[in-house]
Chain A
Amino acid sequence: MESIIEVKSLTKRYKEKRAVDDLSFDVYKGEILGLLGPNGSGKSTTMNCILSLLNFDRGNIKIYGKEMTPNAYDIKRKIGVVFQDVAVFDELTVYDNIDYFCGLYITDKKMKKKYVDDAMKLVGIEEYKKYFPKQLSGGLLRRLNIACGIAHKPEIIFLDEPTVAVDPQSRNNILEGIETLRKNGATIVYTTHYMEEVEILCDRVIILDKGKIIASGTTDELKELAKTKEKIRVETKELGNKEIHEIKKLSCVEEVLYKDNILEVMYTDENNNLENIIGYLKSNNIKYSRIFSERPTLNDVFLELTGKELRD
């Protein structure tokens, strides 16, 4: 796979605090790479270092095989950035904002007009084209912010938590838009602390904590890291200590919890667990109302690796 961005031993300190600590990773052509981490884990700092906005203490960053510097205009031309904070002109309409920022990259008037229209369509704000930012809801404003960053059809796109504090409708819209961008050939670095988004969207995920990579891989690979491969929950009122003890002895069972009439069984393997537990309940004549099976989430992985929840 072709590496488009190469980050090597990136270290960035704010005064004494290490915000990013010896980070190395590659971004491959055409993928959506998720940078997943809790607040303050160094996602934005990493992004701003890659973009040559921030000085860093150690490491080097190459994009398209060339060192990234503040005046690497040929590289910058191919990049689109959506920053965490909304950055638009309050004095300009939706259309004019996109037109302005697109104009920093695209000079051809006809092409620019088409690109601006495409960007509005992509995030679904055509109807609001004459609105001013102040008249938009939070979700729509975020969508405008995204449109401003990607209107010039960049090859590489950085998105820093584009869905923070948006309504579900806008969120779906945004995620679909990003999916479309990738289909059109863009390589995307997507920063978030929502693991669900990463699971839906990203081909590869890097999990950050305190400026360090604690795990990386596809979501499936990451889930492999979790000791618990399956979690089965059963609603039942009829369990005693004896039964719980017996369930613990079933094959591949890692842990059993029984609280508030809910039985939770954790498995270290994911084969036939549902069959086994149902078989046991039947043969012991234990009645149950509902039964669920869950695969581990990235949150579980994070919890196991760091001992804390991804979201606080």
Chain B
Amino acid sequence: MATTAVSAESKNYLNAEYGIRSWLLTTDHKRIAILYLISITLMFFIGGYFALLIRLELLTPAGDLLTADMYNKAFSMHGQIMVFFFLVPSIPAVLGNFLIPMMVGAKDLAFPRINLLSWYVYIGGAAMYIWCVITGGVDTGWTFYTPYSSLFSNTHVVEACLAIFFAGFSSILTGLNFVVTVHRMRAPGMTWTRLPLFVWSHYATSIVMLLGTPVIAITLVLVILERTLNLGIFDPSRGGDPVLFQHLFWFYSHPAVYIMILPSMGVISEIVPCFSRKRVFGYTFVAMASIAIAVIGFLVWAHHMFVAGISLYSALVFSFLSYLVAVPSAIKVFNWTATMYKGSVSFSTPMLYAMGFIGLFTMGGLTGLFLACLGVDVHVHDTYFVIAHFHYIMVGGAVLGYLGGIHLWWPKISGRLYPEAWGRLAAIIVFIGFNLTFFPQFILGYLGMPRRYWDYSHMPEWQALNVLSTAGASILAVGYLLPLAYLLWSLRYGKIAGDNPWMATGLEWKTSSPPPTFNFEQTPEVTWEAYEYEKMPLPEEVTLER
């Protein structure tokens, strides 16, 4: 292509300035996205390392590889890192940061400096968390249940809470920036109904971040105060209530599930139309489903507490509402599937991830019905069934969406194509490894294997399924390392991408790759709807060799 040579040399956000200072003091949302990308990738591999320790320990029934305390720290830190330092910021802070201004046709986010601040706050939290890990770690599980966390644990609970408090603030700042940007910074003609669904889902996510995160922040502060000043809020011997903590914790942490999955749904809503060359089926319904999820998602928190001693009638209400919140997710799945109907489908890497997402998210959602079902939850609560369920949502859903999104926008971010054959191979490996890791855990859970068990020597019959799971985890690890390797490789050796290698709609593809610092040469004027694929030519088939 003639344009490729030009865009490679022209000024873009990557070569506009050089030097470490130009990165650390940047207010360019695209550079900040890259800073986030590097930091969360690091955190992901630390969290993954702990996952590996867990799976290796469970290879044999006896607690032989780690001590009990080490194991308890391993799963606690795996969960805390993956949730608070990887999944919550993942798509919003990287892809959302990079793309939302471009998708709405703006030069930057509404508050570029707050955006940079949010990264610093995140780094402050992450650094404190790593400090906590190095000095001995924390063993409360990612859930910090009181009074164990507040009165009994001898580990670094205060540091961990503070670190997460920081991470929470960075996500509040990101959410604030997105909400204001979507309201105030849209280009002329970019009406709400012309917004890409990626923007809609991030808008919904941001609302959850803004309303939910302060609650977890203050809850963790209460745990800190209880530990340091002996406040007694959660201590029953002084009139406190340990279950109150669970209400506060889940008031954020259930909606947090949607902070993690909604952005991923946004990515899928971009990938499926692009690789089916079709308008998204039922645009309005998909967009409104995001909002419905964000709203109802705030009303279901106590479904994590059906056996925690809440009253019979409140359990009924929360079970009922949990079924309601499942409906908009089902709507999305049906609409994505329908989008492929009579399309012109290509199985490129992002599409493979999207198809994987739809299937695995469906399974994650369906197994959620078991947990929302009061009578069944009594048995499977706090067993491996729950572990399997939320990994189907968080990995099968959120992480697959993240990987799909990284591949889809990699040409835009880096200006280079990744090697397609490797991409497809890695996607298939991730899919197989994932299922082998987590499907056996459904069975283990129904058999009654409780979560957070370090040693199961009295139940040797659980070993076979655990061995399968560990085998799957090692395959999954390969699937994660491959993209790391070939994406880095492509930065230097990948083919020059061109502005719009997928022939996708969306304003981000109308500017050069990588985009210039202020995104567009002149402010675009939007006269079209999102996903007008009928007006787009087919992409040159991205060939299998590099």
Partners in one complex: no
Residues of A within 8 A of B (CB): none
Residues of B within 8 A of A (CB): none
